[in-house]
Amino acid sequence: MEITYLANVEHPVQLGYMIAIYFFYTGLSAGSFVLSSLGTVFGIQKFKPIAKAGVVMAIALLVVAPLHLIADLEQPGRFYTLFFRLNPTSAISYGTFLLTLYPLNCLIYLWFMMRKDFVLGAQKLTGFRQALYSFLTFGKKDLSPAALAKDQKWIKGLGTLGVPLALLVHGYTGFILANMQARALWHTGLMPLIFLMSAMVSGTGLLILVLILTQRFFSPERELTSQRRVVLQDIARLMMWFIVVDGALMVINFIILYFGNAAGYAAAEMLLFGSHSAMFLGVEIGLGLVIPFVITFWSKTRKSIGLISLASLLTLLGVIAMRINFVVGGQQIPLSGNALNPYHAEPKHLIFLGCFAVLEVVILYLAFKFLPVYGIESETERTSAEHNVPQSGGVSAH
């Protein structure tokens, strides 16, 4: 009998930067939605002013996120087949429907949150925004107490449904990796929790940055009022605790890796001392967790808009690094032999990443510019505000 031995078989990296950044976008969306629900679902009054902004972000991010999956396919025109080729044992199959149901729920949820503003805008505004808001009322212009109370019931119900949907949309990505038994870095029950908690960190960071910019340029007041600054400080404090939990999960995960088996030890060594050590220890841990934690831990630094903006930006960089370290790095650990599997990003994928990022910025800009995220103001109020002339008798709905 002839026996053939195979050694040093190279297993190419199949899930590259496109998939890693897709995970990043879905995490941002989930984190934004959960934070928006603190006021509407969990009843924390001080967070109600950010509810609309969080949902707008969640929707905008979910519009762009699946484009990374489609662009990564060898035959992107066939992505729709996932809707009728079901596999009840596949997390990806469930993810296909979650990526559809979650944004639809968000859209309906946001409409009920903005319905009153649409009606007031249709009455008070002129031009394009008046026509847009009149259309978006869909004929539902009743502002009676009973109608508004009914809106609140819908908001509560859809928001409650949206929280588990948001967690599942991002959590299933962790399940996809955790089910890969041959990949030591992925095959752990902590993987969905690690992905979810890092999503809360990055989602909070992006929300802080978006709130700072949009409240300054798109809110009726065109400024960060003292009340808004307090809310931003509270959100930064939440981010600090998310960082603490994220860091704790990372430490537990590395203990399991280091003392589990030889493959896990090799994975930990790669991140701590190998080719990914600079991105892991320097960017993911140092820039993405330690510095933001220090900034948000001290009350004096947490009161600085500039410093919490820096901390928020660093969390985004850290979580991007985390996605790359775990998604790409997890596949570079060889299944046979000792050499790491090489990975070189395709130039077209880098172009796609840049185009999708620009598209995301454009969508967020248009959404905050034309939707009543911070309430509405009449055109006369807008003109007087721009000229610093007090105006009486205007309408502003928040």
pLDDT digits (tens, 9 = 90+) for 104-113: 999 999 999 9
| 195-234 burial code (b ≥16 CB/10 A, e <16) | bbbbbbbbbbbbbbbbbbebbeebbbeeebeeebbebbbb
pLDDT at 89 over 80: no
Number of C-alpha atoms within 13 angstroms, CB side, residue 264? 13
**Alpha-carbon distance 267 to 186, whole Å?**
10
Per the CB < 8 A criterion, the answer to whether 226 and 343 are in contact is: no
- Which residue type occupies 42? F
Per the CB < 8 A criterion, the answer to whether 195 and 173 are in contact is: yes
What is the model's pLDDT at position 379?
A: 46
What is the model's pLDDT at position 398?
A: 39
- Which residue type occupies 49? P
- Mean pLDDT computed over every residue of the chain: 87
| 361-379 burial code (b ≥16 CB/10 A, e <16) | eebbeebbeebbbbbbbbe
What is the model's pLDDT at position 11?
A: 67
- The pLDDT tens digits for 328-343 are 988 888 776 677 778 8
pLDDT at 177 over 90: no
Domain that holds residue 212: 17-335+348-372
Token pair of 338 as six digits: 């000792």
- Any residues with CB less than 8 A from the CB of 323 and at least 6 apart, and which? 20, 21, 23, 24, 27
Residue 257 lies in a domain: yes
Residue 241 lies in a domain: yes
Q: Assign 394 a pLDDT band (cuts: 50, 70, 90).
A: very low
What is the model's pLDDT at position 140?
A: 93
Residue 231 lies in a domain: yes
**Alpha-carbon distance 206 to 238, whole Å?**
13
**Alpha-carbon distance 204 to 209, whole Å?**
9
Q: Per mean pLDDT, which range of 44-53, 144-153, 382-391 is the poorest?
A: 382-391
What is the model's pLDDT at position 23?
A: 93
Q: Assign 388 a pLDDT band (cuts: 50, 70, 90).
A: low
Residue 286 lies in a domain: yes
pLDDT at 39 over 60: yes
**Alpha-carbon distance 347 to 351, whole Å?**
6
Residue 47 lies in a domain: yes
- Which residue type occupies 244? V
User: What is the percent of the chain where pLDDT is above 70?
Assistant: 91
What is the model's pLDDT at position 267?
A: 87
Residue 320 lies in a domain: yes
pLDDT at 391 over 50: no
Domain total of the chain:
1
Per the CB < 8 A criterion, the answer to whether 292 and 304 are in contact is: no
Residue 4 lies in a domain: no
What is the model's pLDDT at position 92?
A: 77
Averaged over 112-121, what is the pLDDT? 94
Residue 390 lies in a domain: no
Residues in the chain: 398
CATH of the domain at 192: 1.20.1630.10
Q: Assign 261 a pLDDT band (cuts: 50, 70, 90).
A: confident
- DSSP structure class, residue 373: B
**How many Cβ atoms are within 10 Å of 131's Cβ, its own excluded?**
12
